[in-house]
Amino acid sequence: MVSGWNWDGDESLLRFDDPVEWDAACERGEGPLGSAAIGLAFNCSLAEASPRIVRAMQLPDVAQRGFAFTAAGTAARLNGELTSQLYAALRAEGPGGFAENAIRDTLTFVPFRQLPPWFKWQMVRMTVLDKLEYWWMLSKDAVGDAWRALRGRRS
């Protein structure tokens, strides 16, 4: 089978829309499969793209794995939902790594009631941590202002 796609890293892979060709390229060991997974997220149904995105999340190339997680976040943004496979893959990777932005996209664009329990817990956890970080920054600014005011009086 002759591929009509340029697999040499061309940005046209973001327009990729052929799941069967993605499977064939994966079998051939093509390089930019993660980039093509983003194209699948944009141009195919969630059901067609999901198993390929999950497969791309397991690629040996670190950069392409990162693109696969970007594809998962894109799927959440575009569809307002994810498949159970994608939820499981994001949960397995966990926050703080490749999946951080994809998890945050999922929490932003998928309605809370539709989230699996682990993702609901992550929503609560991240909201609390973000609020604590905000308060910490406010207190740091206040302490800094007070310190500068005290130093100004001594001079």
Render pLDDT for 46-58 as a digit per residue (tens, 0 to 9).
999 999 999 999 9
Please tell me the total count of domains within the chain: 2
Mean pLDDT along residues 27-31? 83
Write the pLDDT tens digit of every residue in 79-106: 999 999 999 999 999 998 899 999 999 9
Separation between Cα atoms, residue 19 and residue 58, nearest integer Å: 17
Mean pLDDT along residues 4-26? 77
Q: 59 and 127: one domain?
A: no
List all residues 6 or more positions away from 37 whose beta carbon is below 8 Å from its beta carbon. Answer: 22, 49, 52, 53, 56, 67, 68, 71
Per-residue pLDDT at 66 exceeds 80: yes
| DSSP-assigned letter for residue 12 | G
Q: 95 and 146: one domain?
A: no
Q: 109 and 42: one domain?
A: yes
According to the model, what pLDDT value does residue 65 have?
92
According to the model, what pLDDT value does residue 2 have?
40
Q: 109 and 126: one domain?
A: no
> 0.95 cut: is pTM over it?
no
Q: 76 and 33: one domain?
A: yes
Q: 110 and 121: one domain?
A: no
136: its two tokens? 């910490």
Mean predicted lDDT score pLDDT of the chain: 89
Its domain, for residue 153, covers 116-155
